[in-house]
Structure 1
Amino acid sequence: MATVKVKLRKSSVEGKAGSIYYQLCHKQSSRQITTRMHVPSQWWDAKKGTFINEADNSGMSARYQRQIEKDLQCIRRILCEWDGAGKDYTLADVIASFHTWNEKGDTILSCLAALTDELKNDGQWGNTRNLQRAMNSFSGFLRGVDIPLNQVDERLIIEYEQWLRSRKVSRNSSSFYMRTLRSAYNKVISTRRLEQTYPFQSVYTGVERTRKRAVHEDIMVRLQKLDLTRSAPLAFSRDLFIFSYCTRGMAFVDIAYLKKENISGGMLSYVRHKTGQRLTVRIEPPIGEIIKHYEPYVRNSPYLFPIITSNDPEEAYRQYQTALGYHNRKLKKLGKLTGENLRLSSYTARHSWATVARNHNVPLSIISAGMGHTSEKTTLIYLESVENSLIDKANEGILKALCCNVSK
């Protein structure tokens, strides 16, 4: 009879999780079945071929252990049936039968949950959150009842879209769920080498343009002059909003993760979380004044602003998410304090810089380069030819009004 053992293949990259696999031996031959389970080597007891009990507090090892037991039960059932019938088989036959069983046994929600664990294990907190949100929505549509993968067809996804519409979910939100689920579904299908039936081909997965609420540069000056000495939280959100505007619409996530090491020679250099593109901004007086104001609050922190305090990546991401929600709530109050009841958000600063730049007759290519719009074909063409000094020159002109209010 063939034997099967559970083993961990360590990653060749230091610090990266290894892969769990099943080693099958039969008639002096050996084959492996690689799984989608990835765990740190310090979680694994190589001698016992199982997890170390105290290694994981997130519950991932327990979920993986249940999957391992499920797989082993399947493999042993195949072996027992074939040995009992006296069948002559090879390990290739066993592996093929195992994959066939998996095709029939896998369910969509369990696969999505496993993929969520993988993303979390890889430190992809944003993607983990997006998939979790989409999975929760889809689970609500299914009323919590898991279904086999082969039942996820075009008809079901169309019904899901109609279900979202009946609950007044916006078209862009519906599209977000569809794109996220489609990407996850395609990955599951590819990993298991199942037949692709394209169940998402008839639902909307585009992005409708929404009205961007940019504000005039006079509003930025009015915000800058607001006396907020009695409300430190409002002052902090105001300063972050102006900082974003002054740094060519820097996204809140990039502001939250800015570190002191990002500053050198009067320049602020950072990598956009969204695109991975490196951008460099000259520190104009309003920018320097805001950074200087918050130095006492981050004296013992590597970060530029008192937003993230944890060294744990997952907890740091949660702190950023919490801060973003709090920041947007404060911006709504600030919008009312301008006297025009403006609906401000963290994105308003970005749209405003682009609009003001256009009003200052800054070429579109320089605006795109300054904002790091690498996803646009036109932007990509111009990025290589635009000098950063031109972008800084444009920014200097845009911030002229604000610079006048910064104390020398």
Structure 2
Amino acid sequence: MATIKVKLRPSSVVGRAGTIYYQVTHRGATQQITTNIRLQPDEWNAIGEQVVISVADKSIIQNRIDSDIALLKRIVKDLDGSGVTYSVGDIIKRYKSPECHVSALDFMKNQIRLMRNANRLGTAQNYEKTMKNFAEFLGGVNLPFSAMTEQLIADYNAFLVQRGMVRNSISFYMRIMRAIYNKAVRQKLVEQSHPFTEVYTGIDRTRKRAVSESVISQLYKLKLAEGTPLALARDIFIFSYCTRGMAFVDIAYLKKENIQNGVICYARRKTGQLLSVRIEPSIQRIIDRYSSALSPYVFPILTSTDKKEAYEEYQVAINNHNRQLRRLSKMLPAGCKLTSYTSRHSWATAARNHNVPISVISAGMGHTSEQTTQIYLTMLENSVIDDANQGLIMSLLE
């Protein structure tokens, strides 16, 4: 059975840092693997074979060492399991092979490229945002996937907490990192060690974003100057509500060719699911209001048909849309907050209030499961619960 030790080779020059190396012994033969890790003698615990706690960036350096040793042990385990006689040279040769040292950041860069080539621009953007954040945490160190241990992920989680991020934001990064890690596992670039088990990867319920039907009616009846950004935002919101909560991204990319025989047929950009919506008079009026022979799109949100340019236009448009919705919110009863998601949540809530079965609501919204729809519908506003509680208390005190 091979043995692996971590040692520090002192520098021959007084005051200069020494070099960490790995000593691999098997069948009486010993070879060394020199690293680029430099430490002073007082920064290394020779007995414990670990970095001294007081060293700056100790966590990153120790994780690098731990990942290298874990990789060497995995190689030894694989060679032992093969049933073939092997030498210490075979261990070193496999360790130095390029596929054993694919870095997490390089792998993420490649995944971003693949997502862009597949026109999954939103996913590519989320991957890139996470990669930059993770690179900042690493502080310039490009670790291999084998370094993605439970401790490293815990340290990354602590880094995000220290930056003042809320749980849902931290979970966003952790879910993306987990997805990328699992892809690396499937490609056999790293052995599955479940490093994300101790960090939160769920989604906390936030305040419900639906508004009542009376608010929708007030919004619909607002007197706004035609042709203004404010009027467009209102009409897009109403259009979304009337088309069973069509997402803003789907509205932005909606083309005239998606309308046939009084029906809107489109594929959700998030899931690829095909949906069809019958055009009611209120929907048709909004379509007619923005019809232009010069554009392939139904609404004046995008102008380019080039995938990259259109996506860049969409990013600008969604920000502008939410900005206009904030202005509209001020024209409605106090407490009403409109966002690009509100119309979708509001349609689901209104449908429930009209006793539409959850299965029908789920199909109408293009959800892949009724569980997703249930999340929309179970997030009742506190005011509804408070009103019910008030009624119970009043009946008790009468």
What band does the TM-score fall into relative to the shorter chain? 0.5 to 0.7
Residue 231 of structure 1: how far off its partner (Å) = 6.8
- Superposed CA offset, 1:168-214 (max 9, x none): 21211211111111111222233244322222222111122222221
| Residue pair 1:214, 1:348 contacting (<8 A) in 2 also | yes
**Residue of 104, 123, 126 corresponding to 1:127:** 123
Distance, in Å, in 2 between the alignment partners of 1:236 and 1:273 is 22
Cα gap change, 1:370 to 1:270, in 2 (>3 Å)? same
Counterpart residue number, 2:31: none
Q: Secondary structure at the match of 1:279?
A: strand
Q: Secondary structure at the match of 2:97?
A: helix
- Superposed CA offset, 1:144-169 (max 9, x none): 33223222111000111121122221
Counterpart residue number, 2:52: none
- TM-score normalised by length of structure 2: 0.67
Counterpart residue number, 1:235: 231
Counterpart residue number, 1:159: 155
Cα gap change, 1:100 to 1:144, in 2 (>3 Å)? closer
**Residue of 320, 335, 339 corresponding to 1:326:** 320
Distance, in Å, in 1 between the alignment partners of 2:298 and 2:197 is 45
Counterpart residue number, 1:351: 345
| Residue pair 1:103, 1:194 contacting (<8 A) in 2 also | no
Are positions 1:311 and 2:305 aligned together? yes
Cα gap change, 1:270 to 1:207, in 2 (>3 Å)? same
* Corresponding residue pairs, total: 285
Are positions 1:117 and 2:113 aligned together? yes
| Residue pair 1:369, 1:379 contacting (<8 A) in 2 also | no
Q: Secondary structure at the match of 1:270?
A: strand
Q: Secondary structure at the match of 1:332?
A: helix
- Superposed CA offset, 1:279-324 (max 9, x none): 11111111100000001xx312111111111121111111112111
Distance, in Å, in 2 between the alignment partners of 1:375 and 1:323 is 29
Q: Secondary structure at the match of 2:339?
A: coil
Distance, in Å, in 2 between the alignment partners of 1:349 and 1:252 is 10
Counterpart residue number, 2:203: 207
Q: Secondary structure at the match of 1:269?
A: strand
- Superposed CA offset, 1:205-237 (max 9, x none): 112222222111111121112122177000000
Cα gap change, 1:230 to 1:371, in 2 (>3 Å)? closer
Structure 2: unaligned runs, 5 residues or longer:
1-88, 375-398
Residue 270 of structure 1: how far off its partner (Å) = 1.2
1:168-207 residue pairs with structure 2 within 5 A? 168-207=164-203
Distance, in Å, in 2 between the alignment partners of 1:341 and 1:195 is 51
Distance, in Å, in 2 between the alignment partners of 1:375 and 1:363 is 14
Distance, in Å, in 2 between the alignment partners of 1:256 and 1:194 is 40
Structure with bigger gyration radius? 2
Are positions 1:217 and 2:213 aligned together? yes
Q: Secondary structure at the match of 1:337?
A: coil
- Superposed CA offset, 1:22-53 (max 9, x none): xxxxxxxxxxxxxxxxxxxxxxxxxxxxxxxx
Distance, in Å, in 2 between the alignment partners of 1:284 and 1:315 is 32
Counterpart residue number, 1:145: 141
Distance, in Å, in 1 between the alignment partners of 2:111 and 2:371 is 31
| Residue pair 1:154, 1:202 contacting (<8 A) in 2 also | yes
- TM-score normalised by length of structure 1: 0.65
Identity %: 51
Q: Secondary structure at the match of 1:249?
A: coil
Are positions 1:365 and 2:359 aligned together? yes
| Residue pair 1:214, 1:349 contacting (<8 A) in 2 also | yes
Distance, in Å, in 1 between the alignment partners of 2:262 and 2:276 is 10
Counterpart residue number, 1:279: 275
Structure 1: unaligned runs, 5 residues or longer:
1-92, 381-408
Write the letter of the residue equivalent to 2:124: T
**Residue of 251, 254, 259 corresponding to 2:250:** 254
| Residue pair 1:103, 1:192 contacting (<8 A) in 2 also | no
Distance, in Å, in 2 between the alignment partners of 1:366 and 1:230 is 35
Aligned-residue CA RMSD (Å): 2.3
Q: Secondary structure at the match of 1:366?
A: helix
Distance, in Å, in 2 between the alignment partners of 1:234 and 1:379 is 30
Distance, in Å, in 2 between the alignment partners of 1:201 and 1:233 is 46
